[in-house]
Structure 1
Amino acid sequence: MASARPACGPISTFSRVQILHLVQSRSPRSISELCEATGLHQNTIREHLQRLIEGGYIIPSIEHRATRGRPRTLYSAVTGTPEASSAVARDKVNAAARRGDLMRRAMPATASDLGPRATYQLDALIEHLEESGFEPVIDDAQLTVDLTPCPHAAARPEDRPVLCRVHLGLMQGVLTEAGGPLAADSVRESALPAECTVQLRLTDIAA
């Protein structure tokens, strides 16, 4: 089996994974809440948040308050829904679709049998996963994404559930942002840390 590539991109550190886990679990979050939950300094949190905003994973908003005082900046997870969408994420989706169309013009057989909207979703998903250090293999028939070997295989066993939940949440957001019939359902259980398969599903709009 090939060795796993190291994780890369905006979520290359576990501190950023922790921050994403917190905002995915409950949004919005303030910097002080994130500092308390992670034990990191405010300046470190700000640096991580900026990278996550630039990556299209988190969006900032200004707190609405009725009392005096400077409003806080709050941070929410990008889910791809109209109320939690990111211009960066939308640009990534559109760019992935353009590159996918170029590839399919050269190699028509690479188009998904699931239809054009699902094809664009998969374009965006593949590029997101590659940016995150994965080597995705899509099975249209089984609706699976094989991410073996997982670049997080060497992570501490107690950290892996958080890593899996965060990456699944990011995949769900990418598919929602792209718009179409596919959703990321779950990460299949595996006895080997390097093995990772994500189960997709067709949503009601596929009908």
Structure 2
Amino acid sequence: MSDSWPRRRLLAILRGASEPLDAQELARVTGQHVTTVRFHLDVLTRESLVRQFQQPPRGRGRPRIGYTAVQRSVGYQELAQVLADQLGSDPRKRSDAAVAAGRAWGAKMESADQPVETLDDAKDLTITLASELGFAPERDPSTETDEQVMIRLTACPLRELARTHSEVVCGVHLGLMREALDRNGAREHVSVRLHPFVEPELCVARLELTKARAAETVSAVEEAAPENGEPRLAPAGSRMAPQLRSAEPQLRGSADPQLRNADAHLG
């Protein structure tokens, strides 16, 4: 088709049209004979560049055949592949650049104001963000403790590219999550990691209380524990995280789930 000026012209006309056009209309616009136009339209149809539609007849007679251009979608997968390939060969530098890009993206996104003061707040914000981006997140209550939460990401808009460039694709998504959490107040007390492909179609986001916040909440619980039968109140100004429901369970270290592919660069 590329070496045929008449077909290129027909295709351009159809791409600019607001509705399907038939061969007679195209012949009138281009000044070509209607038989010649039909020939070129048949070629464009075989090349999947135009599509035929049956239209009502004008007055009596057979239905008309209208034509419209096939709109080509932008190859975002290919574009992402090209961009990923430009980040160099060092996995560490590629990961760092991707995380920085994700943070820059997150800084420009309009996000709901969801202040993060507890681990539950961080979980809710992350699930909201992941849902908006098409990750189909799911909670995993069996792995939740007072100090960490796992969120299962069952879909990914760029999963196929992530299979070969996980440090780039997952790095961008990790940076985006970190920026969203930090912007809402989690910088000092909640960290997030991303574990790609723990199963062939599953990634996991892990949220954890930082050591400083974990120690603070444990101290608050100890201050509030009864002594000699006398209830004791936590000192004024101390903050007890609501997810700490008892003094003993949260002090035990929880074993990580079987994350078979916890990428060190993303962790």
Please give the range of the TM-score, normalised by the shorter of the 2 chains.
0.3 to 0.5
Q: TM-score, structure 2 length as denominator? A: 0.36
Q: Which one has more relative contact order, counting CA pairs under 8 Å at least 6 apart?
A: 1
What's the TM-score, normalizing by structure 1? Answer: 0.45
Q: Find the structure with the greater CA-based Rg.
A: 2
